[in-house]
Structure formats: C-alpha cells, structure tokens
Chains A and B, each alone.
Chain A
Amino acid sequence: MRKPYFLLKTPPTTPEPAEKLAPWAETTVVGKPLPRVDAYERVSGSAVYALDLFLPDMLYAAILRCPHAHAIVKKVDTAAATKMPGVRAVLTDSDTEARIPWYFTEKGPTSRLFDPHCRYEGEEIAAVAAETPHQAADALRAIVVEYEELPFVVDLDSALKPGAPLIHEGGNQVEGTLVYERGDIAKGFADAEAIVERTFRTSCEIHTPMEVHGSVAKWDGNRLTVWDTTQGVFQVQQSLADALRLPLSNVRVIGQYMGGGFGSKLEISKHTVIAAILARKTARPVKLFISREESFLCVGNRPANTMSLKAGVRKDGTLTAMHLINRGAVGAYPGWAGVGSQVADLYTCAHVRVEETCGHINAGQERAFRAPGFPQCSWALEQVMDELAAAIGLDPVEFRLTSIPVVSQRQGGKPYTSTGLRQCLVEGARAFGWDAARGGHRRNGPWLRGAGVAACQWGWPGGPPSTVIVRYFADGSVSLNMGASDIGTGTKTIMAMVVAEELGVALDRIQIEHADTGTTQYATPSGGSKTVPSDSPAVRAAAVAVKRKLLAMGAEQLEAAEDEVVLKAGEILVAGSPDKKVRLAELEGLMNQQVVIGVGHREQNPLDKVTKPFGAQFAEVEVNERTGEVRILRLLGAHDSGRVMNRLTYQNQVFGGMTMGIGFGMTERRVLDRQTGKMVNSNWHDYKIPTAMDVPADLTCVPIDVPDNEFNSTGTKGLGEPATIPTAAAIANAVYAATGIRVTDAPINPTQLASLLADQRKRG
C-alpha cells in the first residue's frame, strides 16, 4: 500500500508553470460568501453517494470479524454458509486470491487480508456475497470459526512492560523513541523564574463519519471499476493496483460524493479489496459497506496519548525551556502517535526537548484523524501556557503575544511565508470581548462562569503534485477537470470560483468533473487541509492558460499585439482603442476549434521558507459546581489560513472544526474493556459525538484574511484541521477560569468534573 501524503520523505513535484502568476490585486468572485455549486444535489437528495449506487445484478457483501482481542484462527467452516439461500460466494484465507499482504512497515508486510493471527477485535476472518444484505448477514452467522484465544493487552502502560503479551515478534514498542532536541533544556530550566510541570491524558477518538465506509466493485474483463467512499481516488487506485497486481490503467476509482472522512478515508481499507475479489469470483458487481459498529473498530482512530510537559518561563514572558515526554498507542499495526510538533514550533523558545514513544496494543490501527497529533498536543501545551501565564501574572493572551515566532525553529530557523498568529490572538480577543469575559469570577446559583483561550499551528501546508485541465467551450461555458475529492469542505465551489475569477464565467456555467481516476487528473487525497492550497493554484494556472490562448486568438483577429489585448466581461479589447474589440462568442479561432484547453500545474513551494496556518480560539463556559455539567456558552475561532476564498464555506469549516473539538474535549472516548479486550461503546449511544444540544448557537468566525502570496499563486493556506486543534484546550482553560480546576484528562465529562469538584470541596 502506498504511503499517505504525510509519510512521504521527499517533496513531490509537478512541472513548474511557464509563468509565475502575480497575486490577485482585487477579486470579484473569490472571497465572496457564495453558496456551494453542488448545493442543489446535496439538499435535494439527488447526489449519488457510493452507497446509493445500484448496479444491475449487484450482490451485497459483508465481513465476518474476529470477536476476540487476540486470537489465532484454527479453522473456518463455511460449508453451511455456502449452501444458504442467496449466497453466491464465501471468501476466506484458504482462497489463494485472498492471500494479499497488508499493514506494512519499512521492512515489509506484517499481516494479510484474512490473517489467521487476529490482533484486535474486528479483524477480518471471512466475507460473503449474497443476493440481499439480509442473506449475507444470515450467512455470516452460519460460518463456524474455531479460535485459540491468546493473552491480550489493551492499555499502553501494560503493553510496554516486560512480559506483556506480544502483539508482534520483537516487542510492542514501535521503532524506538523519537527525540527532537534543540538548545539545552537544563540550562533553560535553570534560567526560568517559574516552572510548570504536569501530565495530561487524551482519549482515543473515533472518526465516525456519517457515511460508513464501503465500496461497489464491478469488473469488465480484466478492468475493474470501484465506486468508493474515499478522500482520494488516486490513493485507492494505486493501492488496489498493487494488491490485485493490475496496471493503473485497469483500475478506475470514482468517489464524487462522499459523506465525510476526517482522515479515516484517506487510505484504502480491506473491504475495498474484498469487494473487488468477491466481484471477480461471482462475475457480478458487489456492494460492500461495513456497519456502524464495525466503523468503530477497524477504520482508524486518533490514538490516546499520555503527555508529560514541563515548561519554564521568565517574568517578562520569555519561555526558557520546554520538555515533552509523550506516549501513544498506535493499535495493533504500524502507525504513529506522535504529538510534539507544536511544542517545538508554536512559540519562540530556545531550549526544547521532545521524546515520543509509540507502542502496540490489541486494538484497531490508528489513522490520520483531522490534524493527527495536534489537538492532543494542544490539550497539554495550551493548558500549560495558561498556567505559566498565571504563574507570572500575565493575561493569557498577552503572554502568548510575547512568544510569537517569525521563523520555524523546528525547520532550521527558516522564516515563515506568513505568521498571522498575532492577529488571530488580538483580533480574536477583541471580537470576543476577552477582557470583559475574563473580569472576575461570575456566579449564577450553582453555575460558575469562565473564559479561556488557546492558540494553534498546523503542520502540513500542501503543495505539488496537482494537475488540472480547464476547457473553454465555444459558447463560453467551461469544464473544470481535477482529480481532487470534495469531502464536504467546499473544494468544488472554491475551485469553480477560481475559474470564474480568471475567465469571467458565471458559476452555473462551469461543469466540474472530479474524483475519478478514469477521467480526471492526478491529485493527492483531500486531507491535511491541503486541498485548496495544493489544487487551487493549479486551477488558476489552467484557467490562465485558457485565457492566454483566447487573448492570442483575439489579438490575431483584431490585428493587435498580444500584450495590447485584455479580457473583460466576455470581450477581448485592445487597450486604448475602444472600438477594437471582439466578443468571445465571435472569436474565429474558438469557433474553428470549438474548444480551448488549458493545463495547469501546482508550482513548487518556496524552498527557503516554511508555511503554516495559525489560529486562536476563545471559549466561554458555565460549570455547575454540583453536577459537573459544562455548558459551552460561546466559541470564537480566529484563523490565519491565508486568503479567504469563500467567506461562507470558510465559516462553516471553522464552526465544524470547533464542533468536533467539543467532542474531543467533552465527550468522546473509546472504552476498551480490560477484562475482555473488547470495545464496549462501539455505537453512537455510548460513544457520544456532539449533537445540536452540545453546540452553542453563539459561534463566531473571525477570518484573518491576509493572502500568503509567497506561498502560492492563490495566497491560500489550509483551514480544516487548524479549526479543530485548539478548541478542547480553550474549553479546558475556560473550565479552569470558572472553577480553578485544571482538568488534565480529556474528555471533561460531568462524571470526572463532578469528582474533581468534590475533591476541591474536601480540600476546602
């Protein structure tokens, strides 16, 4: 399986564009609060998601999963299942075509599609294809599996102890400890006038997008088409081609509408390959969607972390040293649970040391989850910053302002292309009414009120490769062809706005072809908040290429020089000669060839600079001192993500990120039972994501709209992930302001807070 974008070591490239486009001076479309170009499809119900696809003669498939945390499969008896009504195929590890390696490290695969060594509850044992989903489910129940249960371990502390049950030969620790170091922390702490040291814990969070994961697979001879719930069709195409040993040309993956992923759909999952094999075996199309319960077990999670953070400060606000020791559980297969980047880079600090240890437990593999590692780090770092501010008697906003970085200390001191952190804090605080909100304790019966702040930085800026094609038709309407998925962030809308900006065409005259490996151009998966900064410059380059060709045609027809003509409101004009003009619809060159095609590539990122989005969020809460209940009264997000492309979708991202942050901070927690090793809350009743009742109606978005023109030709940085990074920490700081209680373990649920409040009362 190919590596996801964030594991690549060398920066990818596409051909450098012929000309470096100057930044937009002013815009007429870009930046406006426009409804989405695909709003009709999404609100009418006519959008076809993969699950909505019904192909003639299609079968339904389902997967039998291991019910034990750790076991060896001794025998799988499918005799009865095979004979059941409607059953067309059963697939197990004894089918040689299913012996496909899976879960890779640098050294090679660690498992296979139906590996008899099951290392977590939910591993794949067998699969069935049948005429109806009910018949497939019946057949799964008729498969008899003999297991040898093995000792298991589901918490990292136990897993790293000598004598713990081994999940892989060679021990449960992943690739040693990662150390990042600069300066000398001993010296830094010696210089400090105040030191704070605390251990924080975050819980394992599950993505649970509303649309469960699944695929529809269909063969035509040796050509495979898969409709998939993916964030990146090209990623799935490559992985399928590898797994099934097919050329890329024989694998077409389509994923035009998808119902949320948050990272869990960045890479291929086993069910996609299983659907393809079952379709080949039965010579019929196969639809395989996992169930909601399965989605809690086997398609990724944000790992739980334990972070000990020590930080020193001088009275003037100078951070003298930071030392983070992090441990995280990656699950049963290769992964990473590091968090340290913001400790090393968000604030100016000369002496930093980060030690990160990851280990295996008998649970599902971690997967990138909206800003992998960052909300966890924020939970620790931003609470410590709050405490340091109190220790030296500075306001938390003011304290952060003393340590705004202008260079990336982690990346060799290279300057940032833009750093909006100061504006985020200052303008956010002003819009929030920070000073008033901080003014003294306020009590209303048992309800205590407080406000908190947290800042953030996000690590991946985006970049090449990205290739886009824009076609200009004879009637002035346009087709935009790009490989990127629109995972709900508004990608299609923003890209169409870029085309509209350059070519002056109305949005409803732009057709968008996207997320189809058979018909669109290569793009990396939509994730890492990098789709707009990666692909919008390529879209702009393609639109400009079209414009250049149209202008050349106009110049020829008007017998003018190419640098004399301009495109304006559907006409090509010659500067200085008001009557020399031609409407695009009357352009002979266009009429003759009927279409003008422009190809755009994403330019290289500047090599001598670093680009990161920044943000700051503010929260005001009320805590019931008797019950531990927390009411979030309001949230404000101020983000520097470069140019604001669409004010409406931008705000939606900020609100959505904060909403997800409420879940991370307040309610979400995977519970693994230590007696059985099984997840006890693999459903939305017991695993609580935010509902409409948990989100305040008072949400504010303060865009710091400063184009980052050094970074790319649209001036954009990413927004989706930063919007969720600091929320939980801002809430925790608000809870502290209200109660004086530092909640170190996420989530802050009423049970925990009530007992902390009781302890506080006891202490008096």
Chain B
Amino acid sequence: MSTHGDDEKGGVSRRGFLGGVAGFIGVTAVGSTAEATPVPKAEIYEASGLSKLTLQVNGRTHSLLVEPRWTLLYVLRDRLGLTGTKPGCERGECGACTVLFDGVTRYSCMTLALEAEGHEITTIEGIMAGEALGPVQQSFADEDAFQCGYCTPGQIVAVEGLLRQNASPSIDEVREGVSGNLCRCGAYGHIFKAAMRAAAMKQVS
C-alpha cells in the first residue's frame, strides 16, 4: 500500500523521479510550448506496493490503486478501458499515446500515472461531443488524413493541442505541431490539410 513517509523508508522519491522525467518530457513533448510541470511536494511511494490515485480524465474522476511504475498510458488503457490512446513504442518516440495534460500535449507513456494526480487529462474520447466527432476529428475524416488509423488518435490530440495554443497556425507550424507524432503509413500530407481545415472550422464555430 502507499506510504507517505520519510526518505528512510526507501522506495521511489517522487521529487527526484519526477524532476528527471519532467525534464525529459519538456524536451520531447509534442508541440508543447508550456514549461515542464511544476514539481509537487515530496511524497514517497513504495515501488512494489499499490498507491491510491485520483485521476481526472475527460471530466470524470476515477479513484484507483496503482503501482508507482505504471504509466498514465497503461492506466488509461488497461485500467480505465480508454483504448483510443495507443501505445506505439512506450519510450517517447512516436506520439501514438499523446493526451492533453491540462490542455497541453504530452506523451502518456512517458508520464507516470501518479504524476497525473491533480491534473486534467483529455484523451481522444474526451475530444468527442458525446457520440459526435469534434472538429479536428471531422477534418481528419473529411481529408482522409489517415490510413491504418493507429497513429490517428495521437495525431488528432496533437492537432487539438496545437489549435488550443495557436488558433490559426501556418502550415509550417502545423508540421512542427505534429512532428512528435510518427505516421508509418505516411498520411502526413493529408494530416497537414486536415489540421488547416480544423483550424478554419474552429474559427467559424
């Protein structure tokens, strides 16, 4: 079980661990202009035990027990059943796992679930308006901005994150905005078009 104790007890120091991870994310995060997440107050978790976690995902609150080593990606998919977010590499290389972290794009495979406490997570499922597609999703469908569709949730979240920062990006800003999201099918050409179309759609609505 979780321990909120002193350093003597061993385990992973959240401060030390987070500092390192957050620094790394700052370098690799997709199209992110935000600073690395502020380091929260020190808490010690037992590596092998389960810790309590309250997670805000797509406007809903989930309480669960997690191992400190579980990534946000794993918890979203395997514990909460939100399988729209995809693993592609689980090491911060591909962006298939991109989510919005307080509105900013972030690789969920490089984020420990415990880090997400107190932050608002938005996944591809959260970009829907009920059963209806959001504007970025609709643009991807209209422009045929995917082939196999496996990288697509990540691409869409990346574009959504970009447009929240920059409502009318240039094509070069779009390219940069999705440059952390690999697409092996090579749908980039149509992805650029979809992003521009989504920007236009959002301005109208």
- Asked if A488 is an interface residue, CB under 8 A from chain B, the answer is yes
> Given the complex, which residues of B lie within 8 Å of A649, measured CB to CB?
144
Separation of A165 and B39 alpha carbons in the complex (Å): 54
Q: Are B148 and A659 in contact (CB under 8 A)?
A: no
In the complex, which residue of chain A has the Cβ closest to the Cβ of B195? A692
Q: Are A697 and B189 in contact (CB under 8 A)?
A: yes
Q: Are B184 and A45 in contact (CB under 8 A)?
A: no
Q: Are B148 and A697 in contact (CB under 8 A)?
A: no
Q: Which of A48, A212, A487, A653 makes the CB contact (< 8 A) with B148?
A: A487
- Asked if A648 is an interface residue, CB under 8 A from chain B, the answer is yes
* Shortest distance between the CB of B147 and any CB in chain A (Å): 3
Q: Are A45 and B153 in contact (CB under 8 A)?
A: yes
- Return the CB mask of B123-142 against A: 1 if under 8 Å, else 0: 11100100001000110111
Q: Are A689 and B189 in contact (CB under 8 A)?
A: no
- Asked if A691 is an interface residue, CB under 8 A from chain B, the answer is yes
Q: Which of B81, B85, B152, B190 makes the CB contact (< 8 A) with A54?
A: B81
- Asked if A693 is an interface residue, CB under 8 A from chain B, the answer is yes
* Shortest distance between the CB of B184 and any CB in chain A (Å): 5
- Asked if A10 is an interface residue, CB under 8 A from chain B, the answer is no
- Asked if A292 is an interface residue, CB under 8 A from chain B, the answer is yes
> Given the complex, which residues of A lie within 8 Å of B167, measured CB to CB?
none
- Return the CB mask of A196-212 against B: 1 if under 8 Å, else 0: 00000000000111111
* Shortest distance between the CB of A233 and any CB in chain B (Å): 16
Q: Which of B85, B90, B153, B179 makes the CB contact (< 8 A) with A691?
A: B179
- Asked if A317 is an interface residue, CB under 8 A from chain B, the answer is no
**Segment of A33-41, A145-153, A275-283, A555-563 engaged in the interface with chain B:** A33-41
* Shortest distance between the CB of B176 and any CB in chain A (Å): 7
Separation of A387 and B179 alpha carbons in the complex (Å): 36
- Asked if B8 is an interface residue, CB under 8 A from chain A, the answer is no
- Asked if B93 is an interface residue, CB under 8 A from chain A, the answer is yes
Q: Are A652 and B187 in contact (CB under 8 A)?
A: yes
For window 72-98 of B, CB contacts with A under 8 Å fall at: 74, 77-78, 81, 83-91, 93-94, 96
Separation of A695 and B186 alpha carbons in the complex (Å): 9
Q: Are A209 and B184 in contact (CB under 8 A)?
A: yes
Interface residues on B, range: 35 or more
* Shortest distance between the CB of A262 and any CB in chain B (Å): 7
- Return the CB mask of A346-373 against B: 1 if under 8 Å, else 0: 0000000000000000000000000000
In the complex, which residue of chain B has the Cβ closest to the Cβ of A292? B89
- Return the CB mask of A12-53 against B: 1 if under 8 Å, else 0: 000000000000000000000001101111111111110110
**Segment of A252-260, A412-420, A564-572, A576-584 engaged in the interface with chain B:** A252-260
Separation of A559 and B101 alpha carbons in the complex (Å): 68
For window 144-185 of B, CB contacts with A under 8 Å fall at: 144, 146-153, 156, 171, 174-176, 178-179, 181-185
> Given the complex, which residues of B lie within 8 Å of A488, measured CB to CB?
146-149, 185
- Asked if B69 is an interface residue, CB under 8 A from chain A, the answer is yes
Q: Are A692 and B175 in contact (CB under 8 A)?
A: yes
> Given the complex, which residues of A lie within 8 Å of B45, measured CB to CB?
none
* Shortest distance between the CB of A665 and any CB in chain B (Å): 13
> Given the complex, which residues of B lie within 8 Å of A489, measured CB to CB?
147
Separation of A41 and B149 alpha carbons in the complex (Å): 9
- Asked if A421 is an interface residue, CB under 8 A from chain B, the answer is no
In the complex, which residue of chain A has the Cβ closest to the Cβ of B183? A210
- Asked if A442 is an interface residue, CB under 8 A from chain B, the answer is no
> Given the complex, which residues of A lie within 8 Å of B125, measured CB to CB?
44-45
- Asked if B107 is an interface residue, CB under 8 A from chain A, the answer is no
Q: Are B189 and A259 in contact (CB under 8 A)?
A: no
Q: Are A697 and B171 in contact (CB under 8 A)?
A: yes
> Given the complex, which residues of B lie within 8 Å of A699, measured CB to CB?
189
Q: Are B186 and A657 in contact (CB under 8 A)?
A: yes
- Given A48-B83, A260-B185, A689-B182, the answer on whether A211 and B141 have CB atoms closer than 8 Å is no
In the complex, which residue of chain B has the Cβ closest to the Cβ of A656? B186
For window 126-154 of A, CB contacts with B under 8 Å fall at: 133-134
Q: Are B149 and A47 in contact (CB under 8 A)?
A: yes
Separation of A38 and B144 alpha carbons in the complex (Å): 11
> Given the complex, which residues of B lie within 8 Å of A39, measured CB to CB?
140-141, 144
- Return the CB mask of B93-117 against A: 1 if under 8 Å, else 0: 1101000000000000000000000
In the complex, which residue of chain B has the Cβ closest to the Cβ of A60? B78
- Given A134-B69, A259-B148, A488-B148, the answer on whether A660 and B179 have CB atoms closer than 8 Å is no
> Given the complex, which residues of B lie within 8 Å of A177, measured CB to CB?
none
- Asked if A685 is an interface residue, CB under 8 A from chain B, the answer is yes
- Given A259-B150, A655-B190, the answer on whether A292 and B91 have CB atoms closer than 8 Å is yes
Q: Are B152 and A42 in contact (CB under 8 A)?
A: yes
Q: Are B140 and A43 in contact (CB under 8 A)?
A: yes
Q: Are B146 and A210 in contact (CB under 8 A)?
A: no
Q: Are B186 and A660 in contact (CB under 8 A)?
A: yes
Separation of A35 and B190 alpha carbons in the complex (Å): 12
- Asked if B70 is an interface residue, CB under 8 A from chain A, the answer is yes
- Asked if A476 is an interface residue, CB under 8 A from chain B, the answer is no
Separation of A260 and B87 alpha carbons in the complex (Å): 14
- Asked if A6 is an interface residue, CB under 8 A from chain B, the answer is no
Separation of A209 and B84 alpha carbons in the complex (Å): 17
- Return the CB mask of A465-488 against B: 1 if under 8 Å, else 0: 000000000000000000000011
Q: Are B186 and A43 in contact (CB under 8 A)?
A: no
- Asked if A519 is an interface residue, CB under 8 A from chain B, the answer is no
In the complex, which residue of chain A has the Cβ closest to the Cβ of B172? A697
Q: Are B185 and A292 in contact (CB under 8 A)?
A: no
Q: Are A43 and B149 in contact (CB under 8 A)?
A: yes
> Given the complex, which residues of B lie within 8 Å of A660, measured CB to CB?
184, 186
* Shortest distance between the CB of A747 and any CB in chain B (Å): 16
Separation of A258 and B84 alpha carbons in the complex (Å): 14
Q: Which of A54, A658, A695 makes the CB contact (< 8 A) with B78?
A: A54
Separation of A685 and B92 alpha carbons in the complex (Å): 9
> Given the complex, which residues of B lie within 8 Å of A158, measured CB to CB?
none
Separation of A212 and B140 alpha carbons in the complex (Å): 23
Separation of A685 and B124 alpha carbons in the complex (Å): 25
In the complex, which residue of chain A has the Cβ closest to the Cβ of B181? A692
- Given A46-B84, A685-B93, A690-B186, the answer on whether A257 and B141 have CB atoms closer than 8 Å is no
- Asked if B18 is an interface residue, CB under 8 A from chain A, the answer is no
- Asked if B44 is an interface residue, CB under 8 A from chain A, the answer is no
In the complex, which residue of chain A has the Cβ closest to the Cβ of B83? A52
> Given the complex, which residues of B lie within 8 Å of A490, measured CB to CB?
144, 147
> Given the complex, which residues of A lie within 8 Å of B46, measured CB to CB?
none
- Asked if B191 is an interface residue, CB under 8 A from chain A, the answer is yes
* Shortest distance between the CB of A693 and any CB in chain B (Å): 5
Q: Which of A38, A41, A262, A693 makes the CB contact (< 8 A) with B184?
A: A262
For window 48-73 of A, CB contacts with B under 8 Å fall at: 48-49, 51-52, 54
Q: Are A44 and B150 in contact (CB under 8 A)?
A: no
Separation of A262 and B144 alpha carbons in the complex (Å): 19
> Given the complex, which residues of B lie within 8 Å of A51, measured CB to CB?
83, 86-87
Separation of A46 and B144 alpha carbons in the complex (Å): 17
Q: Are A655 and B189 in contact (CB under 8 A)?
A: yes
Interface of B with A (CB < 8 Å)? 67, 69-70, 74, 77-78, 81, 83-91, 93-94, 96, 123-125, 128, 133, 137-138, 140-142, 144, 146-153, 156, 171, 174-176, 178-179, 181-192
Listed from nearest, the 4 A-B pairs whose CB atoms lie closest are A45-B84, A659-B186, A259-B150, A488-B148
19 CB-based A-B contacts, threshold 8 Å: A36-B141, A38-B149, A42-B141, A43-B140, A43-B149, A43-B156, A51-B83, A51-B86, A51-B87, A54-B83, A207-B184, A208-B184, A210-B151, A210-B185, A260-B150, A260-B184, A488-B146, A658-B186, A690-B186
Q: A655-B187, A657-B186, A685-B93 are in contact. List 20 more A-B contacts (CB 8 A).
A: A36-B141, A42-B152, A43-B138, A44-B84, A44-B125, A45-B153, A54-B83, A133-B74, A209-B148, A209-B150, A210-B86, A210-B151, A210-B182, A655-B186, A656-B147, A660-B184, A684-B94, A692-B174, A692-B178, A692-B192
